[in-house]
Structure 1
Amino acid sequence: MKILQEKNTHPNMVNSSILESLMNQTSITPNMFVEYTRWTLIFLIVVGFGFFICFIVMIFNAFFKSPRLRDSARYVLFLYMLINDIFFISLGFYLLLTAVYGVKIPVPLCYFLYTLSSITFRVTPYNLAAMALEQYVAICHPLHHVLFCTTNRAHAAFTAICSMLTIPYAVELYVMISSLTNIFNLYIVCRQEFLLVNPVQYVIRSANLILCFSSVAFIILVTYIKISLVAHRVSSKSSSASKAGRTVMLHAIQLLLCMASILSMLTESLPIKQFEVLPTANFLVFTCLPRFLSPVIYGVRDETLREHMKRSLPRWFCNIFGSNKEKVSR
């Protein structure tokens, strides 16, 4: 009887093992698809960042070879913005990888990296406001431009912006310490929401974000109106006032590109948690692409910077374009 029972149960056991293996195969396939998609997005981020670095190297080369660019407060601020964007994307990419793959780090280190990432995120809008004010002084108060808009004042302005932005995070750190929590002894996946131990922190972060973008938008709007009024008086499309007005409008577009990063917070709050590649896709679309496009648009549009960048290009690259132009003319 035992032998018969074994013979009868044996095919069922084989069938069940086959079904389990098939179920395991079908359960692995979606995970592999998600992983392949995530690595594709990471590859696009790395490639885009590589082109971004190459473009910035060209700008650096043009900047340090041209005394005219080095002595201009506008280009000094622009260079600071590029350096800041490099730090912001690098820190954001590191924090993304640690969050996606669940790497736990000490809370003090996490808060330090989060603070640096947040400060570099907010430096760019204030830098755009400083560049807009420089344009305003150059057009509306040209006699004071040489006095106020110097390279030393540009360095001081950038230092003041960074110092001012550390204040809210120092207050937030004080709130965390005074909350009598042992969070600083823990190892966590470094995400912003995991550092919230007191509702006051959410108020500080929201107020800081609203103040940043509203004040910068107000400065850019006022400077654009003032410069446009001067350009209207001159009534010449080729005047420096008209060019300055278009430049300030470009700063407004750059500000909108920076604000695109906020959309990632909104999309990640949607009830689609099963879409595991969403954080990586958000980082590529809403964080990297705006930062990649912003200096490219500014660098290509600015005539002075564009001419110096052409001189810094390799000779073989210029010869290729030169030969193409000759073929077209023929």
Structure 2
Amino acid sequence: MKILEEKNNCPRMVNLSLLQSNMSDVSIPSNKLVEYARLTLILLIILGYCFFTCFITMILNVFFMTSHLRDNTRYVLFVYMLVNDTYFLYSGLYFLLGSLYELHVPVPLCFFLYTLSTVAFKVTPYSLAAMAVEQYVAICHPLRRVELCTTYRAHVTFAMIFTWLAIPCAIELCFMFSSMTNIFNLHIICRQNLLVVSPIQFVIRSITLVLCFSIVGLVIFITYVKIMLVAHRLSSGSSSASKAGKTVMLHAFQLLLCMGSLLSNLTESFQMKQAELQPLINFFIFTCLPRLLSPMIYGFRDEALRKYMKSSLARFVHNFNGRNEGWVFR
């Protein structure tokens, strides 16, 4: 009887081992597909970063080589916004890769990088508001534009915006110091939620975000209404007031793109079939694309920037062809 039972159990054991081997054979290709998809997304993001970096380099070269642009408040604020977005994108990529590959860093370094990234995220909306105010002054108070819209005031405005946005982070730091935990002696994966030691930090972050987008949205709306009233009085669709109104509307669209980054927190509540890819997809759609497209749309739309970029690109191509011809003749 025992021999018969053993014979009956043998096929079951064989079937079980075959099933386990089949499951392992299926899981290995699945893991490989996930890894290939992850590397593809990372490569796509890096290519976007390379194109954006080339665009930034061209804009900065045009800006510092053209005195007309350096003396214009609007372009000074725009360059500040470009540099700010560049840091935000690269810091976001560092946080993402550090989280995916579990890179542990000291808490003080993580908090410092997170503070700069948080401030950079909110600087762009306030820069858009400052650029909208500059358009308002240029159209509604043209006689005072030279007095009010100076490059010195643009630098001071950016410094004030950065300082104002750093205050909530300093308050968070005080709460972290006052807590009973020894969090600053730890090494952690640099994530936003791991820096929270008190529920008050969530309240501070929520209030600052609501104030940021509310104030900026209100400023853009008021300046647009004021500018369009002037354009209506002039009764000319090609007037400078009408063009300024379209520019302010573009700032409103850029603000909506910035607010799109907040949607990544909502999508995290919906689990995907491949949850490993969700952080990458959220980062690419809600963080990279808005920050990559927003300054490019404004840069290519501006007539002066477009003209100087074309001439700069033409000089670069001419010099590059000249060097190649000289190398051939050698």
Establish whether TM, by shorter chain, passes 0.5.
Answer: yes
Q: Give the equivalent residue in structure 1 for 2:125.
A: 125
Q: CA deviation at 1:19?
A: 3.7
Q: Give the equivalent residue in structure 2 for 1:179.
A: 179
User: Where does 1:112-261 land on structure 2 (aligned, <5 Å)?
Assistant: 112-261=112-261
Q: CA deviation at 1:304?
A: 1.0
Report the CA distance shift for 1:46/1:18 in structure 2 as closer, same or farther (over 3 A): same
Q: Distance in 2 between matches of 1:168 and 1:123?
A: 13
> Quick check: 57-66 or 295-304, which moved more?
57-66
Q: Percent identity, please.
A: 62
Given residue 51 of structure 1, which amino acid in structure 2 is its aligned partner?
F
Please list the CA deviations of residues 176-205 of structure 1 after superposition, one character each: whole Å capped at 9, or x if unmatched: 111211222222222111111111001000
Q: Distance in 1 between matches of 2:251 and 2:316?
A: 34
Given the two structures, how large is their TM-score scaled by the length of structure 2? 0.90
Given residue 60 of structure 2, which amino acid in structure 1 is its aligned partner?
F
Q: Once superposed, which parts of structure 1, at least 4 consecutive aligned residues long, lie more than 4 Å away?
A: 3-18, 271-274, 315-318
Given residue 270 of structure 1, which amino acid in structure 2 is its aligned partner?
F
Please list the CA deviations of residues 88-125 of structure 1 after superposition, one character each: whole Å capped at 9, or x if unmatched: 00000000011122222222221111111111100000
Q: Distance in 2 between matches of 1:219 and 1:273?
A: 42
Given residue 57 of structure 1, which amino acid in structure 2 is its aligned partner?
T
Given residue 277 of structure 1, which amino acid in structure 2 is its aligned partner?
L
Report the CA distance shift for 1:234/1:53 in structure 2 as closer, same or farther (over 3 A): same
Q: CA deviation at 1:152?
A: 0.9
Q: Give the equivalent residue in structure 2 for 1:81.
A: 81
Secondary structure of residue in 2 paired with 1:270? coil
Please list the CA deviations of residues 203-226 of structure 1 after superposition, one character each: whole Å capped at 9, or x if unmatched: 000001001010000000000001
Please list the CA deviations of residues 227-263 of structure 1 after superposition, one character each: whole Å capped at 9, or x if unmatched: 0111111111111111111101100000000111000
Q: Distance in 2 between matches of 1:212 and 1:301?
A: 26
Q: Give the equivalent residue in structure 2 for 1:308.
A: 308
Report the CA distance shift for 1:194/1:316 in structure 2 as closer, same or farther (over 3 A): closer
Secondary structure of residue in 2 paired with 1:188? strand
Given the two structures, how large is their TM-score scaled by the length of structure 1? 0.90
Given residue 255 of structure 1, which amino acid in structure 2 is its aligned partner?
L
Let me know the Cα RMSD of the aligned residues: 2.3
Secondary structure of residue in 2 paired with 1:203? helix
Establish whether residue 65 from structure 1 lines up as the match of residue 61 from structure 2: no
Secondary structure of residue in 1 paired with 2:105? strand
Secondary structure of residue in 2 paired with 1:194? helix
Q: Distance in 2 between matches of 1:122 and 1:107?
A: 22
> Quick check: 96-105 or 223-232, which moved more?
96-105
Q: Distance in 1 between matches of 2:28 and 2:166?
A: 46
Q: CA deviation at 1:290?
A: 0.9
Q: Give the equivalent residue in structure 1 for 2:92.
A: 92
Q: Distance in 2 between matches of 1:13 and 1:273?
A: 32
Q: Give the equivalent residue in structure 1 for 2:28.
A: 28
> Quick check: 134-143 or 13-22, which moved more?
13-22
> Quick check: 280-289 or 24-33, which moved more?
24-33
> Quick check: 104-113 or 207-216, which moved more?
104-113
Given residue 280 of structure 2, which amino acid in structure 1 is its aligned partner?
T
Secondary structure of residue in 2 paired with 1:314? helix
Secondary structure of residue in 2 paired with 1:215? helix
Q: CA deviation at 1:156?
A: 0.9
Q: Distance in 1 between matches of 2:126 and 2:273?
A: 34
Given residue 267 of structure 1, which amino acid in structure 2 is its aligned partner?
T
Q: Give the equivalent residue in structure 2 for 1:291.
A: 291
Q: Distance in 2 between matches of 1:277 and 1:191?
A: 17
